[in-house]
Amino acid sequence: MNTTDITLSPEHLLERLAWRYATKQFDRERKIDGPTWHALEEALRLSPSGGGLQPWKFVVVADPAVRERLVPASYGQTQVRDASHLVVFTVKTAFGEADVDAHVQKTATVRGIPAGSLAGFRHMLVGGIVNAKDPATRLGWAARQSYLALGTLLTGAALLGVDAAPMEGFDPARYDAILGLKEKGLTSTVICALGYRMDTDPYAALPKVRFDHDDVFLHV
Amino acid sequence: MNTTDITLSPEHLLERLAWRYATKQFDRERKIDGPTWHALEEALRLSPSGGGLQPWKFVVVADPAVRERLVPASYGQTQVRDASHLVVFTVKTAFGEADVDAHVQKTATVRGIPAGSLAGFRHMLVGGIVNAKDPATRLGWAARQSYLALGTLLTGAALLGVDAAPMEGFDPARYDAILGLKEKGLTSTVICALGYRMDTDPYAALPKVRFDHDDVFLHV
């Protein structure tokens, strides 16, 4: 595939990454349109994950009454209510062999091959992800994958000109209860509000705070 | 800022995300040029993180002898040796108050305000990230942030037309030893090889395997 005319310039990418910030005040009147939101859901769905195993579900909360109930479970942070869209990242609490089998079966279907021909692939995944890790470690592994998907979403949103607020300041147990996640075998790991900034958000104009290059890179 | 002419279309973003795949065979002769690599390092540096705390260092391994030594610590996966660039994501093993203070001080410097005026911000970060978590939980938190940065890098690379192979199949303890990370208070969490695919990589032509939309989304 000739990619020369569809790749971004380095400057273009950096302009987009400099534009984004953790939005504090969202415009309640401005909604993300259908095609743009579809692309952001697709960015999540297409996100890489360890072994390709996608140990997640993305909960998109649109119901205003539920959004209102989530505010007190988020230390009062109003982005949860005011943003156009809210994504609650969740992972499977008991990721196991059946989940590996689902991925192996999907791989066989997509590639038009017998699932049996993927026995080595299955063995590697069950050994490395399921059997080699105790449940707590496996849950930690799954949670890390959800942050990878969050990174995909945040970068994708910046490229589309959509503002976002990734948030760890919420009570996962209360979220799980309000959203009925436990009975679905899921638990929330991180959340992200998306929409459009208010012109009055004082944080929009603040310079981005990052450590200097030499403080975060080692070259060997 | 008028973003209408610098944002991507939804279709453009999805084309780039569909283009990427976990590269198995890298072209050993083809190197990422300076401006492109600089942008990818900047994408890492600018990545969001919990509390903005950036509990990481990114180790870029260029030395061919070190790259060769890392292959057996990576279950023989040759992308570690063959790709143009290799990034080892590491996090601070004893993230604590001093690290919060470094971020608070940097914030004060960048924004031209006294560090003392950020006492509430500091208190929130120390309480929420340092004191509220035991060391293992805090390390897990830091590791999740590094996966967020990995997501930023992978999406950025796809946009620039750079191939990448994120990899969990390596021995962190051996990496830490080979790279001298322990004595720097760091530990490796995940690695990513970057460069350009070989035309002969059979994985390049395989259709992407992802669960169906309804299997990974819940709408509330």
Q: B35 is written with which tokens?
A: 């401006």
Q: B108 is written with which tokens?
A: 């004060």
Contact list, A20 vs chain B (CB under 8 Å): 48
Q: What is the pLDDT of residues A14-41, one digit of tens each?
A: 999 999 999 999 999 999 999 999 999 9
Q: What is the pLDDT of residues A184-203, one digit of tens each?
A: 999 999 999 999 999 999 99
Q: A41 is written with which tokens?
A: 């859901």
Q: A102 is written with which tokens?
A: 């689902």
For residue B44, give the chain A residue with the closest CA: A216
Band the pLDDT of A3: cuts 50, 70, 90. very low
State phi, psi for B13 to the nearest 5 degrees.
-60, -45
Contact list, A47 vs chain B (CB under 8 Å): 151
Interface-testing mutation among B11, B12, B17, with chain A (most A C-beta atoms within 10 A): B17
Complex ipTM tops 0.90:
yes
Q: What is the pLDDT of residues B30-62, one digit of tens each?
A: 999 999 999 999 999 999 999 999 999 999 999
Give percent of chain B above pLDDT 70: 98
Domain boundaries, chain B: 21-93+141-197
Residue B176 has pLDDT above 90, yes or no: yes
Contact list, A106 vs chain B (CB under 8 Å): 209-211
* CA trace torsion B125, B131, B132, B136 (10° rounding): 110
Give whole-number Cα distances, A210 to A21, A61, B110, B154, B208, in Å: 12, 31, 9, 20, 35
Instruction: Output the pLDDT for position B5.
Output: 62
Topology of domain A20-93+142-198, CATH: NADH Oxidase (3.40.109)
Q: What is the pLDDT of residues B123-168, one digit of tens each?
A: 999 999 999 999 999 999 999 999 999 999 999 999 999 999 999 9
Interface-testing mutation among B33, B57, B210, with chain A (most A C-beta atoms within 10 A): B210
Instruction: Output the pLDDT for position A14.
Output: 96
For residue B39, give the chain A residue with the closest CA: A10
Instruction: Output the pLDDT for position A5.
Output: 62
- Cβ-based neighbour number of residue B183 at 10 Å: 7
Nearest to B13 among A159, A190, A208 (CB): A159
CATH code for the structural domain at B21-93+141-197: 3.40.109.10
